[in-house]
Amino acid sequence: MQIVIMAGGSGTRFWPLSRASHPKQFLKIVGDDPMLVTTYKRIEPLVSEPDVLFVVGRDHQAETERLMAGKDVKIMVEPVGRNTAPAIGLAAAWLDRHGRGGEPMAVLPADHFVAQPDLFRESLQHAAEVARDGSIVTLGIVPTRPETGYGYIERDSASSLGNDVYEVKKFVEKPNLHIALEYMASGEFYWNAGVFVATPKALLEEFAALMPDFYEGLTEVAEAFGKVDFETRLEALYNHTPSISFDYAVMEKTRRKVRVIACDCGWSDVGSWSSLFEARGGDQDEQGNVAEGDTLVLGCRDSFILARSNRWIAAMGLTRVLIVDTPDALLVSDLEKSQEVREVTSILNEKGKSHLL
Amino acid sequence: MQIVIMAGGSGTRFWPLSRASHPKQFLKIVGDDPMLVTTYKRIEPLVSEPDVLFVVGRDHQAETERLMAGKDVKIMVEPVGRNTAPAIGLAAAWLDRHGRGGEPMAVLPADHFVAQPDLFRESLQHAAEVARDGSIVTLGIVPTRPETGYGYIERDSASSLGNDVYEVKKFVEKPNLHIALEYMASGEFYWNAGVFVATPKALLEEFAALMPDFYEGLTEVAEAFGKVDFETRLEALYNHTPSISFDYAVMEKTRRKVRVIACDCGWSDVGSWSSLFEARGGDQDEQGNVAEGDTLVLGCRDSFILARSNRWIAAMGLTRVLIVDTPDALLVSDLEKSQEVREVTSILNEKGKSHLL
């Protein structure tokens, strides 16, 4: 199999740690490595280096090259971010052009957390076997709580193919709590982790059918791989391509067989400070605090303290409070309200404080 | 009258803003000036410069001289802190030795807050008139809440001398809440602000009666004022003097007439972060937050944010939280628990992190 790692994210949900030049996939927030490196190490046992392809934004090419120095991996650079559909199309076209169109490729976001990498790898390998027949195989994460922040995948139980593989009945948007509780109770729904496996050929057929303009441009770009006018052509294509997710453009519309493999590997998209806090449950002290760096924690409960400056931090009597200290900016927030950090970055933007973004 | 300003404090209750080299009296925490300067300006309309005497610790002499540069005030330096009784004795002896023993002296801590300085000055002047008969006259602050953090003064209502002046029945220690409520209801109790007026001669007689060893040594020291061996003598005296408060050593034991003048001037000893927060009520925004410096406050209530570094601070969704940011240390605390900052400084001390103290 081959692996495509999508590292185009530019989110500011982890401000003040994440910045425009240093988005989440480059942060060391779970474990000792940047998330992109952890993602790479997670799949390293499955493939050889040349079978790994990164898709990154232009601003993050240098950092990705630095992190992958010495590895014989391929790094493709997008001239501008257009969400996941164009990035996946580009990767599929490159692999197809290089004679690997029939070999299943797994698409993985670079910035997710997996508590049990063994189970994750098992599911990927299983998915690759299934995808050899031309189907698209998604990983369906077994829900552990009625999460309202994820999209779900409904399986068609009657269509069980054995070994936790099902046909997909449909993809559904983020539910409200009531519906999420029903999903959990039914046992028919999985979290959509944005991880799937298909052959590049199958994917290109989908782009031809569902994004014909993009597919046409992509074919021209593919002819220029390795040539001098490649970048110019790619830029021209991206300039005329809308920003659209692969889920929306392909998964929800395709008539091809789409299957789901149930996977219970402790996955999280780590999409907010509070979900990072959950992902780091193993680092908790007896009062449920996670504290990192030069900190003194007195009488606090369930609080999350990241000292990423040379400052000494004392936290006293706090409950469910987030503290993130960096050399030039400090965030102190109720942990439940921490997703509102987008409001902070938008205000910083308005105030022209771009050096803090 | 003459004014003695006691600036010997070395507290760490305002860590990380207050440090050993920079205790509370030197902090700009209410208004635009260091508290010691505010204390000086508060009494400036009452006296001429040479009538003002500061008593400070050796470590703080330079800073006091810097703040009082150009003022013709007297600054006396204690070799080591021994609480208020020795400091007051030293000031009284100096004034007496310089021919001012019969002129009432007001003793004021350098680090208190007064919302209505006019009323405070009126009470001091009134007290000075009363003290000319040799009595000790304390200011009794009319309680505005059942405070358990202050000592109280009980008046003898039957002995009213008119104009809010009473004989003191007794001084009482910090009460529990039940007793504090009774004190408030009775109308017979005042807060002890540690502010009093008496002639140096009267005070020296008290020291002679109640601290005879100290008084004897003080007499020898007084003979050396302005001479080369003054510092050596003073150091010898202080080495053999116990650390003891004037309230405990004199006020609670004296047989001299002690009077109290009721004063409703919006006084606070500003003894903790939470009492500072109360004292700065005028700076509150509509949600009850007090925020100072480069800060963004979103969805917070009754929180207190002091940005005293070059860092930008975002606070989100907090209720009654204190944030104090300095270049090398950060405190985030529940406002109610902020008096436990002593525990932080004691742990810093144990860990040998004296550069943060």
Give yes or no for B12 touching A (CB within 8 A): no
Residue B259 has pLDDT above 80, yes or no: yes
Mean per-residue pLDDT over chain A, rounded: 95
**A22-34: per-residue pLDDT in tens?**
999 999 999 999 9
Residue A159 has pLDDT above 90, yes or no: no
Residue A333 to residue B317, Cβ atoms within 8 A: yes
What pLDDT score was predicted for residue A161? Answer: 86
**B55-108: per-residue pLDDT in tens?**
999 999 999 999 999 999 999 999 999 999 999 999 999 999 999 999 999 999
Q: What is the mean pLDDT of residues A323-351?
A: 95
Residue A20 has pLDDT above 90, yes or no: no
Residue B330 to residue A347, Cβ atoms within 8 A: no
Pick A312's closest partner by Cβ from B328, B337, B338.
B328
Q: Which positions in chain B touch A332 (Cβ < 8 Å)?
A: 313-316, 318, 321, 323, 332
**pTM for the predicted model, two decimal places:** 0.90
Shortest distance between the Cα of A305 and any Cα of chain B, in A, equals 10
Contact A331, A323 (CB under 8 A): yes
Residue A337 to residue B299, Cβ atoms within 8 A: yes
What pLDDT score was predicted for residue A134? Answer: 96
Give the ranges where chain A is alpha helix by DSSP (H): 35-43, 61-67, 84-97, 117-131, 177-186, 200-210, 212-223, 230-239, 246, 273-279, 341-350
Residue A316 to residue B337, Cβ atoms within 8 A: yes
DSSP secondary structure string, A207-235?
HHHH-HHHHHHHHHHHHTTTSTTHHHHHH
User: What residue in A sits closest to B314 (Cα-Cα)?
Assistant: A331
DSSP letter at A19 equals B
Shortest distance between the Cα of A332 and any Cα of chain B, in A, equals 5
**A270-321: per-residue pLDDT in tens?**
999 999 999 999 999 999 999 999 999 999 999 999 999 989 999 999 999 9
Q: How far is CA B196 from CA A147, B104, B125, B188, B247, in A?
A: 65, 10, 11, 18, 10
User: What residue in B sits closest to A334 (Cα-Cα)?
Assistant: B317
Q: Which positions in chain B touch A337 (Cβ < 8 Å)?
A: 299, 316-317
- Distance (Å, whole) CA A105 – CA A112: 18
What pLDDT score was predicted for residue B86? Answer: 97
- Distance (Å, whole) CA B149 – CA B143: 12
DSSP letter at B173 equals P
Shortest distance between the Cα of B301 and any Cα of chain A, in A, equals 12
Residue B10 has pLDDT above 80, yes or no: no
Contact B305, B290 (CB under 8 A): yes
The complex's ipTM works out to 0.88
Q: How would residue B289 be classed by pLDDT, with cut points 50, 70 and 90? A: very high
Provide the percentage of residues in chain A whose pLDDT is more than 90: 93
A312, A319, A326: which to substitute to probe chain B, counting the most B Cβ within 10 Å?
A312
What pLDDT score was predicted for residue B162? Answer: 84
Residue A11 has pLDDT above 80, yes or no: no
Q: What is the mean pLDDT of residues B207-229?
A: 96
What pLDDT score was predicted for residue B199? Answer: 98
B324, B330, B342, B349: which to substitute to probe chain A, counting the most A Cβ within 10 Å?
B330
Residue A331 to residue B316, Cβ atoms within 8 A: yes
User: What residue in A sits closest to B343 (Cα-Cα)?
Assistant: A298
User: What residue in B sits closest to A317 (Cα-Cα)?
Assistant: B334
Pick B332's closest partner by Cβ from A299, A315, A337.
A315
Minimal CA–CA distance to B106: which of B198, B217, B226? B198
Pick B330's closest partner by Cβ from A330, A336, A344.
A330
**B339-348: per-residue pLDDT in tens?**
899 999 999 9
Contact B174, B150 (CB under 8 A): yes
What pLDDT score was predicted for residue A9? Answer: 80
Q: What is the mean pLDDT of residues A72-76?
A: 98
Mean per-residue pLDDT over chain B, rounded: 95
Give yes or no for B118 touching A (CB within 8 A): no
Residue B217 has pLDDT above 80, yes or no: yes
B-contacting residues in A 291-310 (Cβ below 8 Å): 296, 298-299, 310
A192 CB neighbour count, 10 Å cutoff: 24
Residue A10 has pLDDT above 80, yes or no: no
